């Protein structure tokens, strides 16, 4: 065969191979079937703040059909569609259909909370010899970053590639002195959803002056889904935590770290959330249910480790979380009372949602025995939490 013939034979074989390959792919997606699944992020307008700032909402969809809607107000997770054991999708988070809902008394539905998620006792802390005074927005204490914390701020958004996949990066610059905290702080929160139904939240920050920092996400989950919403007492919870931080009657840690053994705090094996929630245990009484920080069992500090699992027996949905954080606030929705009318016009009644807020321990700036939450000038802050959804 001369060289001209050889080249044309190779060319014809290459074309034929491409045609056959293409037919195989096409035959998997016959006419009339949905478009080829892919990871995708789509932006849409979601309204305006009372001061006229435009808010966008981004829908992250994966190849398995799961989706997460996240908006630039509060970096809030507005909805999360997850499959049950029969493959039916439903929204498993609490929130509102429209932006306006989030302006009146949202109990931090879906939000990023900061600078300091959870409570700081007496709304005060001392740092480098200076006393800082914060707003008392929860009895005598400061809660979730103050009167206008990160959940009430407008974040900048851009779609980026993260670990080879599209992701949503939200950023916010908190000015020096905002809500009483020192230092100008730049925060980035990246949400990504992969094809294994894992929603990952990655937090980064840098400051020009030392400041306490404790960022978390405050999504309320209900794995029954919105179509069959009810309380969360039948959900079975496992926590990878042998210890927890007991609280005083204003929900500030006493500073002790106690064993969960023999108490209603023991979720080292699965228990329905409602099983021991009405017990006479003094800690449960103080919390009005579960509203406590659990100390996660870590082999290596800052490593992404298994934090816990929630299983909802009727739908079969399972939520597992992994985190680099040392603790998790397990909150059983004790302050929900039906006054928040959420998605689909559903009134969110007592204990209709639970939160697993991965975090540093509450009141750490005033508890030197707890892992430090101080971010120093030019240090890199980096935390990761991953929520994995499945069904059985």
Contact set with ligand BGC (CB under 6 A):
107-108, 118, 251, 291, 329, 331, 335, 357
Query: Which residue, 108 or 181, is less far from ligand BGC as judged by CB?
Result: 108
Q: Which of 390, 391, 323 is nearest to 357 (CA)?
A: 323
Element containing residue 12 per DSSP (H, E): helix 3-28
Q: Which of 252, 277, 251, 245 is nearest to 264 (CA)?
A: 277
Asked if 218 is an active-site residue, the reply is yes
- Which entry of 169, 202, 357, 360 is annotated as an active-site residue? 357
Q: How far is the CB of 151 from ligand BGC (least distance, A)?
A: 10
Name, in order, each residue with C-beta under 8 angstroms of 311's C-beta and a sequence gap of 6 or more. Answer: 223, 235, 236, 270, 317, 318, 392
Q: How far is the CB of 106 from ligand BGC (least distance, A)?
A: 9
Place of tokens 């005033």: 366
Query: Which residue, 145 or 183, is less far from ligand BGC as judged by CB?
Result: 145
- Which entry of 144, 218, 292, 360 is annotated as an active-site residue? 218
Query: Which residue, 179 or 357, is less far from ligand BGC as judged by CB?
Result: 357
Query: Which residue, 81 or 358, is less far from ligand BGC as judged by CB?
Result: 358
Q: How far is the CB of 216 from ligand BGC (least distance, A)?
A: 8
Q: How far apart are CA 341 and CA 351, in angstroms?
A: 14
Place of tokens 């006393």: 131
Is the sign of the CA dihedral 346, 350, 356, 360 positive or negative?
positive
Q: How far is the CB of 376 from ligand BGC (least distance, A)?
A: 26
Query: Which residue, 137 or 390, is less far from ligand BGC as judged by CB?
Result: 137
What is the 3-state secondary structure of 308-342? EEEECCCCCEEEEEEECCCEEEEECCCCCCCCCEC
Residue 290 φ then ψ, to 5°? -90, 125
Q: How far is the CB of 144 from ligand BGC (least distance, A)?
A: 6
Q: What is the SS3 assignment for 160?
A: strand
**In the structure encoding, which two tokens stand for residue 372, read together?**
């430090």
**In the structure encoding, which two tokens stand for residue 161, read together?**
């590639």
Catalytic center residues: 218, 357
């Amino acid at each position: 065969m001369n060289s001209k013939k050889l080249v044309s034979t190779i060319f014809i074989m290459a074309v034929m191979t491409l045609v056959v390959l293409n037919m195989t792919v096409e035959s998997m997606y016959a006419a009339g079937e949905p478009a080829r699944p892919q990871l995708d992020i789509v932006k849409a307008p979601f309204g305006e703040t009372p001061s006229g700032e435009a808010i966008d909402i981004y829908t992250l969809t994966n190849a398995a059909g799961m989706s997460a809607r996240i908006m630039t107000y509060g970096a809030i997770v507005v909805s999360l569609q997850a499959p049950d054991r029969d493959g039916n999708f439903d929204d498993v988070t609490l929130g509102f259909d429209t932006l306006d809902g989030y302006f009146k008394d949202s109990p931090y539905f879906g939000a990023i909370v900061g600078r300091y998620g959870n409570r700081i006792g007496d709304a005060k802390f001392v740092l480098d010899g200076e006393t800082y005074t914060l707003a008392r927005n929860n009895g005598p204490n400061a809660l979730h970053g103050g009167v206008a914390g990160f959940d009430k701020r407008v974040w900048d958004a851009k779609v980026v590639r993260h670990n080879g996949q599209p992701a949503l990066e939200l950023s916010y610059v908190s000015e020096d002195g905002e809500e009483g905290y020192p230092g100008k702080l730049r925060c980035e929160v990246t949400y990504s959803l992969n094809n294994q139904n894992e929603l990952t939240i990655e937090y980064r920050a840098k400051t020009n002056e030392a400041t306490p920092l404790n960022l978390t996400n405050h999504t309320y989950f209900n794995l029954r889904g919105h179509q069959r919403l009810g309380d969360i007492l039948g959900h079975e919870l496992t926590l990878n935590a042998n210890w927890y931080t007991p609280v005083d009657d204003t929900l500030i840690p006493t500073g002790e770290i106690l064993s969960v053994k023999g108490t209603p705090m023991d979720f080292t094996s699965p228990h329905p959330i409602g099983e021991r929630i009405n017990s006479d245990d003094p800690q449960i009484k103080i919390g009005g249910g579960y509203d406590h920080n659990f100390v996660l069992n870590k082999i290596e500090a800052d490593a992404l480790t298994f934090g816990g699992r929630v299983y909802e027996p009727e739908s079969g949905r399972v939520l597992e979380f992994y985190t680099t954080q040392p603790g998790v606030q397990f909150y059983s929705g004790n302050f929900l009372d039906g006054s928040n009318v959420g998605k689909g016009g559903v009134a969110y009644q007592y204990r209709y949602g639970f939160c697993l807020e991965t975090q540093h321990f509450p009141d750490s700036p005033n508890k030197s025995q707890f892992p430090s939450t101080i971010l120093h000038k030019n240090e890199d802050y980096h935390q990761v939490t991953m929520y994995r959804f499945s069904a059985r």
